[in-house]
Amino acid sequence: MQQVRVRFAPSPTGPLHIGGVRTALYNYLFARKNNGTFILRIEDTDQTRFVDGAEEYIMESLKWCGITVDEGINEGGKYGPYRQSDKKDIFRQYADLLIDKNDAYYAFDSRDQLDKLRKDADKEGKTFIYNASARNSRQNSLSLPEAEWKQRLKDGAPYVIRYRMPLNEDIHFDDLIRGHIVVNTSTLDDKVLFKSDGMPTYHLANIVDDHLMEISHVIRGEEWLPSLPLHIMLYRSFGWDAPLFAHLPLLLKPDGEGKLSKRDGDKMGFPVFPLYWPYGETAKGYREEGYYPEAFINMLALLGWNPGTEKEIFSMSELIDAFSIDRVHKSGSRFNPEKAKWFNHQYLMQRTNKQLAIEFREFLRIQGFHHDIGQIETLVGLVKDRVSFVSEIWNETDFFFKSPETYDKDAIKKRWKPETPAQLLELKEVLAGIEDFKPDAMESKVKSWIEAKGYNTGAIMNAFRIVIVGASRGPHMFDIISWLGKEETLKRIDKGVSVIGKSL
Ligand code: GLU
């Protein structure tokens, strides 16, 4: 196979959608798997859609995901510039080349004229197409006398350069995912290649750059498939070999009805961007929501590709080993927010208690709790199987750090019996007599006491939980009190019995 060179070519028009991150990821996996080169190219020739901060956002997102760029604006490389607006003159030369070959022409129609034609066609239920059948009645270098259009150019009249799409010709091409495709040119228009603002359009810049950068495979979103016939024609006009193409399936809404959008995320409470977007209309990001980049990447990789086995947890290097384009799906992949959390939970469970303690300590510090890391380690070990995010550890452990201020009314109604206060005070004496405040030792002593007294274990333990935790939740009781220590445990029994007693 020829040297693999692939590119991720986003336009800096706002935050990078997770569908875009997936495109970058598949390109990256393909490059690494084939000892190829992964290029980041910024396609910013549409000045009207340019958004400040977007370019940096793209780079930071890839970095957070662990997708390393081989050639790009920051990395350099032999095929630069890697930002298209930095080479508009080069694109202009290629547009001129097509004019010389008579495969492109100057068009002078104003925006108002074209808008009117579109509206008139709409009224008749038709679509206006600027193509072979329409171009002769328009203002361009194919329809006007040569002297006239040359004069217009000399006078500095605004113009665009359009591709001269042949009439009624079948274009055949292949897509690595979609297979063989045939499109007849009569459905295609004479697309603008170069605009009156001196910038190339996406189509021209994209083809020229892919050629100049010696791109071997174009792996991109399915929304670009309709542009492919034009791209194939452009390659033909230039006399260049086209790269191979793979158009990735769409990322769909959770209900499968249409493309996943920011609004779906806002409505259902999940991010559709990798990082928080801080400009204008701000948006949530996976990073800030507490996702591990490894979990995010693992989830994305499986949205549109499968390894052919049941295995779901993949590190980046395992993804590189397993990835192949022929296992990319043809149909769209539904985004599943619950599955995203599930992936994060899996990665959280893989972390050592020490790592989690270090991450969780930061939350505690912000709330003013400064506990020894060893203590926090024990704590996270008790609750990690119940959480998907480090931030959720707090909801599971708040009562470790503060004695209950209120006691759950429903729990009291259900669990608090007239004999409970006396039993809990007895339990307090039993615990007071235990030297080694370790879960197992305590458990066996308390159980023998309950047995000797003929009490009901459930009744005692449930009431005990209410005074210690404030509600019917939390991990194993003896793990909790061992962590709290004797003094705090006994205090909580006294306080609970007294406060609940007064409330009844
Ligand atoms: N600039 C295009 C985008 O924003 C790139 C399409 C392509 O990869 O050819 O998605």
Domains in the chain with CATH codes: 1-72+249-350 (3.40.50.620), 89-194 (3.90.800.10), 352-392 (no CATH), 403-503 (1.10.10.350)
- For residue 503, the number of C-alpha atoms closer than 13 Å in the C-beta half-sphere is 16
Res 1: pLDDT = 61
How far from chain centre, in Å, is Cα 143?
49
pLDDT of residue 59: 98
Query: From CA 420, how far away is CA 412, in angstroms rounded?
Result: 11
Residue type, 275: L
CA–CA distance, 27 with 316 (Å, rounded to integer) = 13
For residue 492, give the 3-state DSSP assignment. helix
Please give the distance, rounded to the nearest whole angstrom, from the Cα atom of residue 174 to the centre of ligand 1.
Answer: 19
Owner of token pair 């929501």? 289
CB of residue 489 inside a 6 A radius of ligand 1: no
Please report the pLDDT score of residue 504 as a whole number.
82
Query: Is 447 one of the annotated active-site residues of the chain?
Result: no
Stretch (H or E) spanning 316: helix 316-322
pTM of the model: 0.93
What crossing angle do the helices spanning 457-469 and 486-503 adopt, rounded to 10°? 100
**Residue 23 Cα: closest atom of ligand 1:** 8
497 lines ligand 1 (CB under 6 A): no
- Residue 135 burial by CB count (10 A; 0-12/13-18/19+): exposed, middle or buried? buried
Q: What is the largest CA-CA distance in the chain?
A: 113
The pLDDT, as a whole number, for residue 257 is 92
CA distances from 301 to 75, 192, 312, 377, 478 (A): 25, 35, 10, 32, 42
Collapsed DSSP state (helix, strand, coil) of residue 163: strand
Four-point Cα dihedral 352, 355, 358, 359, nearest 10: -110
Q: Which residues pair with 182 in a beta bridge?
A: 172
DSSP per residue, 38-77: EEE-B----GGG--TTHHHHHHHHHHHHT---SBBTTTB-
Phi and psi angles of residue 449, each rounded to the nearest 5 degrees, phi first: -60, -45
Q: How far apart are CA 442 and CA 449, in angstroms?
A: 11
- Nearest Cα neighbor of 91 from 198, 13, 5 is 198
Tokens of 340: 């995203």
The per-residue pLDDT string of the chain (504 residues; one tens digit each, 9 = 90 and over) reads 679 999 999 999 999 999 999 999 999 999 999 999 999 999 999 988 999 999 999 999 999 999 999 999 999 999 999 999 999 999 999 999 999 999 999 999 999 999 999 999 999 999 999 999 899 999 999 999 999 999 999 999 999 999 999 999 999 999 999 999 999 998 899 999 999 999 999 999 999 999 999 999 999 999 999 999 999 999 999 999 999 999 999 999 999 999 999 999 999 999 999 999 999 999 999 999 999 999 999 999 999 999 999 999 999 999 999 999 999 999 999 999 999 999 999 999 999 999 999 999 999 999 999 999 999 999 999 999 999 999 999 999 999 999 999 999 999 999 999 999 999 999 999 999 999 999 999 999 999 999 999 999 999 999 999 999 999 999 999 999 999 999 999 999 999 999 999 988
444: tokens are 């066996």
- How many C-beta atoms surround the C-beta of residue 71 within 10 A? 20
Q: Is 382 in the pocket of ligand 1 (CB under 6 A)?
A: no
Residue 138 Cβ contacting ligand 1 at under 6 Å? no
Q: Return the pLDDT at 47.
A: 87
Find the distance separating the first CA and the last CA of the chain, reported in whole Å. 80
- 9 CA → ligand 1 middle, Å: 5
